């Protein structure tokens, strides 16, 4: 078994920064697939993807609460917080990358891989050697060079173990200002309640919740609240049938589920600004990235002592929705009839000023391409 990689508060803080980046990194692939679906079609699939994406937002916020509880400073604006897609996932082997794809069998396959349950149990090694690929990793160990996790669930198992160990030796671990915690009064959500993290118990509860809701840390289909884990939600799209309580993993017995793969805007996979010819469509793509960067700035403020700002995040997200919808409906010139899609290349110059519209012109120029 690999030696534990978390020895002190600083290690925990590094891990929780990575946890926030990881939770966020799953959202652009889900949003791209979700908004590629033609409106009023594929309601089963759209609903499944939407629920998972909303729960990832909850996980992001819970991770921020744990980080704040031990005196960390969440920052969603730092360079590299948003990965450059395609990005590798923590899978032991380099057998797949996470792309920004239209809703498709390939996209669902990737979603299952993102959310797949860990295969190690108990004493098995959680950390495996990373291949030297030079690609960005979604989950690597922030404290041990060249190592990464076999699955997202195991990444959280490492944090949970480290948290318990550090808390036992450092009674002042939970020194964060409780006013920085985001509570249910600031977070309008489906898929589980948000709660403040102030001690070891609530921190463990938050981390277990994230792991259970996503991948099923204990490899169960349903979590303690009777919610189907994300992996199995996506498996339903592959198997064409809903699960019911008591089902075996590969044999859902619920009602059939219908997918029409053709009712989708075929957006370019992991589109980059460089794929856009100069013009108004490229401007719209840059505008979206600037808006998204400003939105991450807003979240950073909210996670740094101003949780009430999450109310503004709601209308901000609707604005982002309108931006994505406009892009995916536009053909991308020079791409063989593929459609445009947001690139999530966040301009470096974005500050945390919540009103991006006034500075968009400057920010757009900051994009290097």
Count the neighbouring beta carbons within 10 Å of the beta carbon of residue 96: 15
40 is a site residue for other proteins (CB under 8 A) = yes
- Tell me the closest approach of the beta carbon of residue 128 to other proteins, in angstroms: 43
Among candidate residues 67, 7, 16, the one with its CA nearest the CA of residue 304: 67
Using the contact rule CB under 8 A, the part of the chain among 1-9, 118-126, 156-164, 308-316 near other proteins is 308-316
Query: How big, in percent rounded to 5, are the helix, strand and coil portions of the chain?
Result: 45, 5, 45
39 is a site residue for other proteins (CB under 8 A) = yes
Whole-number Å distance between alpha carbons of 57 and 82:
14
Q: Which of 108, 182, 327, 341 binds other proteins (CB under 8 A)?
A: 327
165 is a site residue for other proteins (CB under 8 A) = no
CB contact at 8 A, 332 and 275:
yes
314 is a site residue for other proteins (CB under 8 A) = yes
CA distance to 83, 118, 139, 231, per residue, from 92 (Å): 19, 11, 10, 18
262 is a site residue for other proteins (CB under 8 A) = no
54 is a site residue for other proteins (CB under 8 A) = no
Using the contact rule CB under 8 A, the part of the chain among 84-92, 153-161, 204-212, 310-318 near other proteins is 310-318
Residue with tokens 């108004």: 280
89 or 332: whose CB is closer to other proteins? 332
Q: Using CB under 8 A, count the residues that bind other proteins.
A: 24
338 is a site residue for other proteins (CB under 8 A) = no
43 is a site residue for other proteins (CB under 8 A) = no
- Tell me the closest approach of the beta carbon of residue 189 to other proteins, in angstroms: 13
Count the neighbouring beta carbons within 10 Å of the beta carbon of residue 104: 16
Structure tokens at 129: 């050697």
Instruction: Please name every residue paired with 248 in a beta bridge, in sequence order, or none if there are none.
Output: 251
- Tell me the closest approach of the beta carbon of residue 35 to other proteins, in angstroms: 11
143 or 289: whose CB is closer to other proteins? 289
Q: Which of 164, 201, 322, 362 binds other proteins (CB under 8 A)?
A: 322
Instruction: Please name every residue paired with 228 in a beta bridge, in sequence order, or none if there are none.
Output: 222
Cα angle 315, 45, 206 (rounded to 5 degrees) comes to 60
| Residues making contact with other proteins (CB under 8 A) | 38-40, 188, 280-281, 283-284, 311-312, 314-319, 322, 325-327, 329-331, 357
């Amino acid at each position: 078994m690999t030696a534990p990689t978390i020895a002190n508060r600083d290690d925990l803080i590094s891990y929780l920064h990575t946890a926030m980046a990881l939770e966020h990194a799953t959202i652009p692939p889900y949003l791209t697939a979700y908004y590629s679906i033609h409106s009023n079609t594929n309601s089963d699939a759209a609903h499944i993807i939407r629920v998972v994406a909303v729960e990832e937002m909850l996980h992001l916020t819970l991770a921020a609460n744990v980080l704040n509880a031990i005196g960390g400073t969440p920052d969603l604006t730092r360079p590299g917080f948003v990965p450059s897609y395609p990005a590798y996932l923590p899978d032991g082997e380099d057998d797949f990358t996470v792309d920004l794809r239209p809703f498709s069998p390939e996209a669902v396959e990737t979603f299952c891989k993102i959310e797949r349950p860990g295969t190690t149990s108990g004493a098995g090694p959680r950390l495996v050697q990373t291949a030297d690929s030079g690609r960005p990793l979604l989950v690597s160990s922030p404290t041990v060079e060249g190592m990464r996790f076999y699955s997202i669930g195991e990444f959280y198992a490492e944090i949970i173990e480290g948290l318990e160990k550090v808390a036992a030796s450092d009674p002042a671990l939970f020194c964060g200002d409780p006013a920085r915690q985001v509570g249910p009064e600031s977070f309008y959500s489906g898929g589980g309640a948000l709660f403040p993290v102030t001690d070891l118990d609530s921190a463990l509860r938050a981390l277990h919740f994230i792991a259970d809701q996503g991948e099923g840390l204990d490899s169960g289909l349903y979590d303690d609240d009777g919610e189907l884990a994300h992996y199995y939600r996506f498996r339903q799209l592959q198997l064409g049938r809903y699960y019911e309580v008591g089902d075996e993993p590969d044999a859902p017995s619920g009602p059939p589920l219908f997918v029409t793969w053709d009712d989708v805007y075929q957006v370019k996979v992991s589109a980059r600004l460089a794929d856009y010819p100069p013009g108004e469509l490229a401007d719209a793509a840059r505008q979206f990235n600037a808006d998204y960067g400003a939105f991450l700035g807003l979240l950073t403020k909210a996670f740094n002592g101003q949780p009430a700002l999450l109310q503004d995040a709601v209308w901000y997200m609707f604005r982002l929705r309108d931006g994505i919808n406009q892009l995916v409906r536009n053909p991308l010139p020079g791409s063989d009839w593929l459609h445009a899609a947001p690139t999530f290349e966040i301009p470096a110059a974005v500050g945390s000023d919540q009103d991006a519209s006034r500075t968009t012109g400057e920010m757009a120029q900051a994009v290097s391409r």
